């Protein structure tokens, strides 16, 4: 495949920028048609991308929108990888991403250790 100057494979760039743990995972996402380059769906992992391209793809439970700033030479440490892109998606609130705690219902279910101590303090001693 011939690539122009300053171009790299999409799956390789996603892997180098540390969006995915393996290059195979990034290729699988691109092959599934879940990645857009400049608002155009891409289905081939070998699609060439360069600086200035805008990528939109799902990662975990959020949709990432990023602009490629630079092309990497290797998969380096995280600070080096973060210098390869600019995040265009607005930061989401932390509460929106967190999983809510299990609800406790008054008087239902097994008491916690703290609740058990309170119950024992309030109970009259029946052995005397």
Which is nearest to 66 in space by CA: 83, 42, 43, 44?
83
Residue 96: its pLDDT value, please? 54
pLDDT tops 50 at residue 1: no
DSSP string, 21-83: SSHHHHHHHHHTT-EEETTEEE--TT-EE-TT-EEEEEETTEEEEEEE----SS---HHHHHT
pLDDT in tens, 62-96: 899 999 999 989 999 999 999 999 999 876 665 55
Range scoring the smallest mean pLDDT among 34-43, 82-91, 97-106 = 97-106
The C-alpha angle 64, 94, 21, rounded to 5 degrees, equals 45
Average pLDDT score, the chain: 85
């Amino acid at each position: 495949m011939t690539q122009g100057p300053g171009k790299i494979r999409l799956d390789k760039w996603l892997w180098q920028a540390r969006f995915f743990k393996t290059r195979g995972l990034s290729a699988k996402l691109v092959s599934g048609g879940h990645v857009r380059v400049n608002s155009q769906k891409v289905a081939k992992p070998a699609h060439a991308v360069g600086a200035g391209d805008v990528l939109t793809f799902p990662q975990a439970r959020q949709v990432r929108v990023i602009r490629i700033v630079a092309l990497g030479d290797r998969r380096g440490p995280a600070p080096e990888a973060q210098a390869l892109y600019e995040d265009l998606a607005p930061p989401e609130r932390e509460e929106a991403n967190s999983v809510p705690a299990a609800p406790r219902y008054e008087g239902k279910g097994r008491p916690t250790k703290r609740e058990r101590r309170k119950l024992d303090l309030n109970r009259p001693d029946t052995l005397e």
